[in-house]
Amino acid sequence: MPIDADPSLAPSDAHAHPLHGAAVIVSGATGAVGKGLLSRLVAIGALPAVAVRKPWQVETTRALLAGGPGLVAHVGTRDGEAAAGFQKGVTDALGPVRALISTSGRFASAEIGRDPAGEDLDLLEANFLTVHNFVRAVAAGMRRRRAGNIVLCGSASVGHGGSGIALYLASKAALHEYARALAVELAPHGVAVALVTPRTIDTAAVRQSMPAADRTTWQSVDEVVDRLIDAAIARPSTAADPLLRLPVGPAERV
């Protein structure tokens, strides 16, 4: 089933885009996909509000706004009070939050028993807890307005992956189930939840970590960004399972 968005809007016309002039919170804008997403949001005239995990990332990320309107602030990974304050600051400065798009995440691989101490909690924090921190901050306002989109970035490997990535897949699987339940909870309140599930993304870091891999099935950053933007303007579903699952390919509800 196609994404329920207005097909008459010309993508080349930034002023016609539904996100033009809309406040969009972005979590995870320091990676390749996040930077690509931020660039796209700036190009279509959205008002990005970017939360970064490290204080030193504030200035480098602000430069990506190219002098346009928007906000960048440091928000600790598990700091719920800071996330709530950030959401309030965004609303006061840029208007109601139209969408939360999270590309937060981290990949690591190691055989069980050879994984570094603390890797389990680090992956859970990066791939799930960071996301939940921001969802908690934006959900109440979206419910009150009966409008909004929450877009999370999972992995096509969940349910299919193999050796060496058990901890990574467990942390992403937590995100997938969270997204499913969140969609059921928020759909009656007019809030759409989407889960974008790319395969391996072709970035410089991934190429460096897997130099001998076959890249013919890898997906470009632009393809993933396209899906994230699509998801941020989708309408909520009335289906029994309202989660919009978006592989980086044809969109469908399953």
The pLDDT, as a whole number, for residue 34 is 92
Helices 130-145 and 80-94 pack at an angle, to 10 degrees, of: 40
The pLDDT, as a whole number, for residue 249 is 57
φ and ψ at residue 179, rounded to 5 degrees: -60, -40
Q: Which residues of the chain are modeled with pLDDT < 50?
A: 1-12, 250-254
Would you say the pTM of this structure is higher than 0.75?
yes
Q: What is the pLDDT of residues 120-146, one digit of tens each?
A: 888 998 899 999 999 999 999 999 999
The pLDDT, as a whole number, for residue 135 is 97
The pLDDT, as a whole number, for residue 254 is 32
**In sequence order, what DSSP letters do the residues of 173-235 get, joined into one string?**
HHHHHHHHHHHHHHGGGT-EEEEEE-SSB--HHHHHH-TTS--TT-B-HHHHHHHHHHHHTPP
- From residue 142, give the alpha-carbon distance in Å to each of 7, 153, 187, 230: 24, 20, 11, 19
* 3-class secondary structure, 77: coil
Q: Where are the domains of the chain?
A: 14-247
φ and ψ at residue 191, rounded to 5 degrees: -105, 125
The pLDDT, as a whole number, for residue 215 is 84
**In sequence order, what DSSP letters do the residues of 2-68 get, joined into one string?**
---S-TTS-TT-GGGSTTTT-EEEEE-TTSHHHHHHHHHHHHTT-EEEEEESSTTHHHHHHGGGTT-
The pLDDT, as a whole number, for residue 78 is 85
The pLDDT, as a whole number, for residue 178 is 97
- Which CATH superfamily includes the segment(s) 14-247? NAD(P)-binding Rossmann-like Domain (3.40.50.720)
